[in-house]
Chain A
Amino acid sequence: MKNRALLLTLLSGVIVFGAWEIAGRIPISYAFPTFLETMAALLVITLDGSIFTAYAETLQPLLLGIAISAIVGIGMGLWVGLSARFEWLFSPIFIVMQAAPLAALIPLLIMVYGIGLTSKVFVVCIMAMPVIVLNTASAVRNTPASIKEMATSFMARRQDVLLKIILPAASPVIFSGLRLGVSAGFIGAILSELKITPTGIGDIITYSRSISDYPTMYAAIFSIILLAVLFLNFLEYLENYLFEGNNRGYVSD
């Protein structure tokens, strides 16, 4: 079973990268490098260390924004999910945040918070937080009534019900919110580096595009996607580690 999963993953990689290589060789556009050229460029910026200095910049707003979004988002979600009054008060804010055309609002953020780290963290949070809050709130509201009643019948205190019933029961949906939020946060981090000030990975993308060094530009984009995938896998691992029994496997297995 494990081998089959690995095989399918490898196969999907071969198909995607193979298609990329062929499209680059045709070429579909002179601005579209082949997969191998991109990998070579990635090797160059890895060996000269420029990608590491770039990530030292990019990871600051990214990790800070994701951490704030996760902690505040889950906290707000719990609050909104547990209290009808707070749902009424806060839910519209997050729905508006989720639907807002962020790129158009960035100039406004710059006017208020300047071009530094604060604005970029804000962009990441605006991208990541709404889906985390909304998912957490709906998961909390849908806690099965019978296990809450069970806990009450065994004399659970309020904090026990919250920590040992509501949170674990909501965890699958909270984690799926986190996964969506984190992906959106990665988009937000790059968006902020392209729209506010070119730093880090955003700088590599902007600069190599301006000198028509497309392999390096795609290498930078590839690296951020790779990092996002690794981060999402880590989240999945964390979820399985914390709430093992919630993982029921695949229906077809």
Chain B
Amino acid sequence: MSQIKLDAAQPVSPASEIAVSVRNVSKNYGDVQALKNLSLEFPRGELTSLLGPSGCGKTTLLKIIAGLLKADSGNVTVEGRPVTEPGPDRSFVFQDFALLPWASVMRNVAFGLELRGVAKSEREAVAEKYIREVGLAGFEGKFPHQLSGGMRQRVGLARALSVDAKVLLLDEPFSAVDEQTRRKFQEDMLALVQNEKKTFIFVTHSIEEAVYVSDQIAILLPRPSRVLEVIRPSSFRGKIVANIRRDPEYLDIVDNIWASLRSYVE
């Protein structure tokens, strides 16, 4: 089997290739230990999934990397700089889209740039480019309530892309859209990782989704949260997208992950 398993503590690739690094991070909510002494590294230009049963702290970890939550101990660095608050090097895609209902698609996509004080004509030019890229050309003047769930998340994705951050953080971005739209999104994700040269950190609870889109999968276990293993699928990356789901390695990894997670799922 060509699948490579790595111990979580071992570096995945040389330090210069690491875009985001999480070292010994712990986080408590009152008495509940959400993260305990967690370390993980995210290679530049690749998509890493955080996969695990609910309550394993994957969203908490993502929000700590985003700077939305503070870790109780340990540190997070993005491109060598320690994270203390949200910064221009990271952008976030939300599970519930988090669009402004009173703003048009155009203003929603440009909102990240608006907050950075970019002039209106300039930010709308950038927004227009990404609206086209996510396939929403012609919907610029529409409001979120006039769009389907899948289209709303495309707006969220375009907003995250338009600020041109090095690291994209996606919190279960496709969990609120229907199955067919989700498959389309997953294919688009693969193209996006290829074209955008960004580092993607992707939280999901779907094993198939994680294996399908990821260069690297970190499996997290709950209570106390820790990294069980890091899996790097090797043989089906770069092959034709349509064949991934029947690749033997894909099927093996999906099975193995389920075998190691099943005892933790209530």
Q: Give me the interface of A with B, judged by CB distance under 8 Å.
A: 144, 146-147, 149-157, 160, 164-165, 168-169, 171, 243-246, 248
- Supposing A146-B96, A154-B163, A155-B116 touch, asked if A245 and B103 sit within 8 A by C-beta, the answer is yes
Contacts of A164 in B (CB 8 A): 100, 111, 114-115
Task: Identify which of B66, B68, B86, B101 contacts A246 (C-beta below 8 A).
Answer: B101
Q: How many A-B residue pairs have CB under 8 A?
A: 64
Question: 18 A-B contacts, Cβ less than 8 Å apart?
Answer: A146-B96, A146-B98, A147-B98, A152-B86, A153-B68, A154-B86, A154-B91, A154-B116, A155-B116, A156-B115, A160-B115, A168-B102, A168-B103, A169-B101, A244-B143, A245-B100, A245-B104, A246-B101
Contact B94 A155 (CB under 8 A): no
Scan residues 75-109 of chain B and give those whose CB is less than 8 A from a CB of chain A: 86-88, 90-92, 94, 96, 98-104
A155 to B96, CA, bound (A): 19
Contact B112 A154 (CB under 8 A): yes
Contact B102 A245 (CB under 8 A): yes
- Supposing A146-B94, A245-B102, A246-B102 touch, asked if A152 and B145 sit within 8 A by C-beta, the answer is no
Smallest beta-carbon distance A40→chain B, Å: 46
Contacts of B90 in A (CB 8 A): 153
Scan residues 216-243 of chain B and give those whose CB is less than 8 A from a CB of chain A: none
**At the interface, yes or no: B144 with Cβ under 8 Å from chain A?**
yes
Contacts of A146 in B (CB 8 A): 94, 96, 98
Smallest beta-carbon distance B139→chain A, Å: 13
Contact A245 B87 (CB under 8 A): no
- Supposing A155-B87, A245-B143 touch, asked if A150 and B103 sit within 8 A by C-beta, the answer is no
Residue of B94, B96, B102 most packed against chain A (CB within 10 A): B102
Contact A244 B86 (CB under 8 A): no
Size bracket, chain B contacts: 20 to 34
A171 to B102, CA, bound (A): 10
A221 to B68, CA, bound (A): 57
A156 to B112, CA, bound (A): 8
A173 to B111, CA, bound (A): 23
Task: Identify which of A152, A155, A157, A168 contacts B100 (C-beta below 8 A).
Answer: A168
A146 to B68, CA, bound (A): 11
7 tightest CB-CB pairs across the interface, nearest first? Answer: A245-B143, A150-B98, A153-B92, A245-B102, A154-B112, A243-B102, A146-B98
Contact A152 B163 (CB under 8 A): no
A230 to B38, CA, bound (A): 63
Contact B144 A245 (CB under 8 A): yes
Contacts of A155 in B (CB 8 A): 86-88, 115-116
Determine the residue in chain B with the shortest Cβ distance to A242. B102
Smallest beta-carbon distance B126→chain A, Å: 14
Contacts of B114 in A (CB 8 A): 164
Contacts of A157 in B (CB 8 A): 115
Contacts of B94 in A (CB 8 A): 146, 149-150
Smallest beta-carbon distance A191→chain B, Å: 36
A151 to B86, CA, bound (A): 10
Contacts of B145 in A (CB 8 A): 245, 248
Determine the residue in chain A with the shortest Cβ distance to B90. A153
Determine the residue in chain A with the shortest Cβ distance to B99. A147
A160 to B91, CA, bound (A): 18
Contacts of B100 in A (CB 8 A): 147, 164-165, 168, 245
Contact B68 A149 (CB under 8 A): yes
Contacts of B115 in A (CB 8 A): 151, 154-157, 160, 164
A155 to B114, CA, bound (A): 10
7 new A-B contacts, CB < 8 A, other than A153-B68, A168-B102, A243-B102, are: A146-B94, A147-B99, A149-B68, A150-B98, A151-B115, A169-B102, A244-B102
Contacts of B144 in A (CB 8 A): 245
Smallest beta-carbon distance B18→chain A, Å: 22
Scan residues 180-225 of chain B and give those whose CB is less than 8 A from a CB of chain A: none
A175 to B262, CA, bound (A): 51
A98 to B67, CA, bound (A): 43
Contacts of A165 in B (CB 8 A): 100
Smallest beta-carbon distance A234→chain B, Å: 20
